[in-house]
Structure 1
Amino acid sequence: MDDEPPPLVPPPAPHGGTGASASRLAQASWTTFDWAFQPFFTLVTTFIFAPYFVAAVAPDAVAGQALWGYTQTVAGIAIALLSPVLGAVADAAGPRKPWILVLAACTFAGCALLWFAVPGAGGGMLLLTLAAITLATIGAEFAIVFNNAMLPGLVPPHRIGVLSAIGWGVGYIGGLISLGLVLGLFVLPEVPAFGLDKAAHEAERLSGPLSALWLLVFILPMFLFVPDQPRTTLSRRAAVRQGLAQLGATLRHLPGHRNILRFLLAHMIYGDALLAIFAFGGIYARATFGWDLLTIGIFGILLNVLAMTGSFLGGWLEARAGSKATIAVSLVMLILGTIGILSISGERIFFVFEVTPPAPGRALFDSPAEWAFLASTLVLGLPFGPAQASSRSLLARLAPPRLMTEFFGLYALSGKATAFLAPFLIGVITEVTRDQRLGIAVVLPFLALGLWLLAGVREDRPER
């Protein structure tokens, strides 16, 4: 049995830390955080603004994918360096909501500035766009860390996985609705709502301010109805000292929990791949087939429906086979789906079979290569939800009950510690080889290594 050294400085007990649950209103309001932030990930970083940036704002598509990768790298490095420190200080000081408020404001500001990313922007405007994306990403990812830290205080340990999965599902629904609004109001009508100019790509640019407004409105229930940690009597300087001391003690004791350590390493590696697939999926699809905004939007709806459906199927599988098996099946599907989309170009499918290329002015998804791409997307999209929801569930099964909050903090750290690495490698390889396909292929070794590490995790012997 693994050794279990006690923490150096016990963190303040969260609401519900004795096993009691917060109210249903509080639990439901906690899930609206995912709903509030999801349009940033759906509209800005994946399906609407990111492909537009690569195709119309950056000097060319290859440079655009590289620049986008570097923004995610800068954000990832900042998150890796600062999230454990801020999290430890917040644990010592008490409340999480003030931190979330500041970070949400960063995401709001970054998204609002994207309206000024006009086509062909160069010089200072291009730098402003890259800075806005970086600021919004840092704010969103840090806010997620603090929101996750509130989860163990809302429900008993055995229900953490359930509320976690509901949060993911609510987020996907929010992403679907926001994407549907963009298509219905600004893309499908001959004359877009509010008199937007399609030729000036105002629909794509508005995805940033729309995400900011959505965040401002829908994050309010979390602030109003979710209980927060009580404020401690520590001064800011004392909170910093105690928070850093707790972080140091936790990291020193982690080798004594070898089973959890292996899972956290696996989560760190395959989590990088998941983030990269989300960040570059829309960019790669547009570069491969030259899809317009409507086609990209429909593709995004399909992917979100698949991810949401996969979340429900993953819950069914987890109840029967366990969290580890659900994650493993998800990673295998992600590997197969990634290989599938990388094997497809406009003229060739599965590397060797030549097909008729898409014709100009064609109907929607009217080529063999596009249908093969959609089939690979089916394999790629279904496991997104289960891979993430079951990861949180598995940690809840592995962690000793009295150290649950501490290990959820480490879980958040493992998800961010190397978040810059896959985007950085995608950017570098794309720029060096001038090949977007080789850049995206970086995710495959991350998925394979994460799967190998996960295989050594013992789910049937939880630590006590």
Structure 2
Amino acid sequence: MVEVKRDAATRRGIWGWMLFDWAQQPFHTLIITFVFAPYFASAVASNAARGQELWGYAAGIGGMLIAFSSPVLGAIADASGPRKPWVFGFSVIGVIGCWLLWYAVPGMESTAFIMVAIVLALVGMEFAAVFNNGMMADLVPRADLGRLSGSAWALGYLGGLVSLVIVLGFLAGQPATGKTLIGLEPLFGLDAATREGDRASGPLTAIWYVIFVMPMFLWTPDVKRKPAADGAVARGLSELGKTLRRLPSERSYFSFLMSSMFYRDALNALYSFGGIYAAGVLGWSIVQIGIFGILANLTGAIGAWLGGRADQAFGPKVVVSGSIVILTICCILVISTTRTDVLFMTIAAEGSQTNVPDIMFYVAGAFIGAAGGSIQAASRTLLVDQVDRDKVTEAFGLYALSGRATSFIGPLAIAFATAFFASEALGLSNQDAQRLGVTPIIALFMVGLVLLPWVKSRQYEAVRA
């Protein structure tokens, strides 16, 4: 592939695009990982294991919807031109889904409505990211893509950190004391007993997103509408069909999509179930999980920023490979940690008090944040290396497909495994069921790593030649 000469976007346009990650990250930080998901599992569902199971179903259904439609919509967007209308449409869906999470009251009789809201939020936010990512390759020269992607991910993690501090410090009161993490009464009279502070993470995410996504719409340049846009649907589907037929012969591109399908599924599952696991196995409160989230977001920002610089110096493939190894080790550490065990070795008697498991979980969280930030930033540039510039949005659609084709398998496997190990026939405790239920994550990381040697960073190598 040949580097296309073009003018770079203005600094303001680049910052507008980067602020999308700042706008969207609270969805992943507050809803998917550190506040709402563990709250749902520990207080809305009947018990933690059942909550993990239900969350797996919701995430799995959302993943299937994204997997089956994102390549088609991406190809149509490339054929028609502009990406911002797609970002806007799916943003509306995502914002509505997040807002509806406010109605997830503790112990509610039926969780069906909330599971629908979770699916809406997931589909809307994920699709908005697909089309925003499609704009990346037109903003800067190829040599600067790694730094741009890493800086944007770092900014996103900082946004997640700030939003998490707001929730824990000023909104979410602990049920036992009624006070927030810093000892204040929750703002706006939020009731700690009915967990209104935790539920407020949904509306806060929606409001935050609406405010901070605006610079992207106002400042960032978009592709102009193509003259033959009226036939975009048929043309997009035709081009997608050609791409899919040709894909198996493009070993690097195909191998990258297959590899990322597994390692990103593992990472998403680790993010989705990490807080739920800590609540159920270690007995952590939302505040403790929030501190874990603050640490992970801080190291995530650092990891994404450093990963972007490493990407620029050594190429994205090196960054992705190293991050997978770190994440696999951290996953083993997490699964092997309970109130009495670390690395499957007993360190304390049942019922005794020790802080070692908590410390080890925090250490694992720090490295998960750093490696997770760097692998996601580097993956975006490694994908751009695989395609021509006029196929970028289609590629990110296929990227979403590859990430979601097994994304429903990961959560559903965890849901089914947790349900199996929690069955009365086996006689295991809820904690042991949760531990065994998340082990598929390790296998997914390993499959992703095995497939990486066939991936080439061709444009990176051409730039450095």
Q: Given the two structures, how large is their TM-score scaled by the length of structure 2?
A: 0.90
Deviations 1:222-252, CA, capped at 9 Å, x for gaps: 111112222234465x221111001111112
Deviations 1:46-85, CA, capped at 9 Å, x for gaps: 1011101001101111111010001011000000111111
Counterpart of 1:244 in structure 2: which amino acid?
L
Is 2:292 aligned against 1:307? no
Report the CA distance shift for 1:164/1:218 in structure 2 as closer, same or farther (over 3 A): same
Q: Is the 8 A contact 2:264 2:403 kept in 1?
A: yes
Is 2:248 aligned against 1:250? no
Mapped partners of 1:212, 1:403: distance in 2: 31
Report the CA distance shift for 1:463/1:403 in structure 2 as closer, same or farther (over 3 A): farther
**Partner SS, residue 121 of structure 1:** coil
Distance apart, 1:406 and its partner CA: 5.3
Q: Is the 8 A contact 2:263 2:447 kept in 1?
A: yes
- In the other structure, the counterpart of 1:274 is 267
Distance apart, 1:204 and its partner CA: 0.5
Distance apart, 1:399 and its partner CA: 4.1
Is 2:217 aligned against 1:223? yes
Report the CA distance shift for 1:82/1:404 in structure 2 as closer, same or farther (over 3 A): closer
More moved, 29-38 vs 315-324: 315-324
Deviations 1:318-347, CA, capped at 9 Å, x for gaps: 344432222111111111100011111111
Is 2:434 aligned against 1:449? no
Q: Is the 8 A contact 2:147 2:312 kept in 1?
A: no
Q: Is the 8 A contact 1:336 1:379 kept in 2?
A: no
**Partner SS, residue 219 of structure 1:** helix
- In the other structure, the counterpart of 1:10 is none
Q: Is the 8 A contact 1:399 1:462 kept in 2?
A: no
- In the other structure, the counterpart of 1:7 is none
Aligned length, in residue pairs: 443
- In the other structure, the counterpart of 1:96 is 83
Q: Is the 8 A contact 1:96 1:146 kept in 2?
A: yes
Q: Is the 8 A contact 2:142 2:460 kept in 1?
A: no
- In the other structure, the counterpart of 2:174 is none
Mapped partners of 2:233, 2:406: distance in 1: 24
Report the CA distance shift for 1:358/1:394 in structure 2 as closer, same or farther (over 3 A): farther
- In the other structure, the counterpart of 1:8 is none
Distance apart, 1:462 and its partner CA: 6.9
- In the other structure, the counterpart of 2:407 is 419
Q: Is the 8 A contact 1:336 1:380 kept in 2?
A: no
Mapped partners of 1:50, 1:455: distance in 2: 35
Ranges in structure 2 where 5+ consecutive residues have no aligned partner: 172-179, 423-432
- 1:369 pairs, out of 349, 357, 362, with 357
- In the other structure, the counterpart of 1:259 is 252
Mapped partners of 1:463, 1:248: distance in 2: 29
Mapped partners of 2:52, 2:78: distance in 1: 37
Q: CA RMSD in A?
A: 2.3
Is 2:343 aligned against 1:343? no
More moved, 430-439 vs 371-380: 371-380
- In the other structure, the counterpart of 1:76 is 63
- In the other structure, the counterpart of 1:200 is 194
Is 2:232 aligned against 1:239? yes
- 2:128 pairs, out of 143, 161, 164, with 143
- 1:50 pairs, out of 37, 41, 53, with 37
Deviations 1:64-111, CA, capped at 9 Å, x for gaps: 101000101100000011111111112222221111111111111111
**Partner SS, residue 382 of structure 1:** helix
Q: Is the 8 A contact 1:152 1:405 kept in 2?
A: no
Distance apart, 1:163 and its partner CA: 1.4
- In the other structure, the counterpart of 1:86 is 73
Q: Is the 8 A contact 1:268 1:414 kept in 2?
A: yes
Mapped partners of 1:241, 1:306: distance in 2: 45
Q: Is the 8 A contact 2:131 2:393 kept in 1?
A: no
Report the CA distance shift for 1:458/1:146 in structure 2 as closer, same or farther (over 3 A): closer
Is 2:379 aligned against 1:391? yes
Distance apart, 1:400 and its partner CA: 5.4
Report the CA distance shift for 1:84/1:213 in structure 2 as closer, same or farther (over 3 A): same
Distance apart, 1:378 and its partner CA: 3.3
Deviations 1:355-402, CA, capped at 9 Å, x for gaps: 25676xx8xxx6222122223333333211111111222234454567
Distance apart, 1:221 and its partner CA: 0.6
Distance apart, 1:418 and its partner CA: 2.7
Deviations 1:264-319, CA, capped at 9 Å, x for gaps: 21111111111111111111111122111221111110111121222233234434
Counterpart of 1:113 in structure 2: which amino acid?
L
Mapped partners of 1:310, 1:235: distance in 2: 40
More moved, 82-91 vs 320-329: 320-329
Report the CA distance shift for 1:57/1:404 in structure 2 as closer, same or farther (over 3 A): closer
More moved, 390-399 vs 135-144: 390-399
Report the CA distance shift for 1:462/1:378 in structure 2 as closer, same or farther (over 3 A): closer
Q: Is the 8 A contact 2:42 2:48 kept in 1?
A: yes
Report the CA distance shift for 1:153/1:289 in structure 2 as closer, same or farther (over 3 A): same
- In the other structure, the counterpart of 2:50 is 63
Report the CA distance shift for 1:320/1:119 in structure 2 as closer, same or farther (over 3 A): same
**Partner SS, residue 132 of structure 1:** helix
Ranges in structure 1 where 5+ consecutive residues have no aligned partner: 5-15
- In the other structure, the counterpart of 2:145 is 160
Percent identity (aligned): 43
Mapped partners of 1:198, 1:224: distance in 2: 39
- In the other structure, the counterpart of 2:161 is 176
- In the other structure, the counterpart of 1:131 is 116
- In the other structure, the counterpart of 2:325 is 332
Is 2:33 aligned against 1:41? no
Report the CA distance shift for 1:320/1:22 in structure 2 as closer, same or farther (over 3 A): closer
Q: Is the 8 A contact 2:79 2:229 kept in 1?
A: no
Q: Is the 8 A contact 2:146 2:311 kept in 1?
A: no
Q: Is the 8 A contact 2:147 2:311 kept in 1?
A: no
Counterpart of 2:72 in structure 1: which amino acid?
V
Q: Is the 8 A contact 2:130 2:396 kept in 1?
A: no
Report the CA distance shift for 1:271/1:391 in structure 2 as closer, same or farther (over 3 A): same
Report the CA distance shift for 1:66/1:452 in structure 2 as closer, same or farther (over 3 A): same
**Partner SS, residue 383 of structure 1:** helix
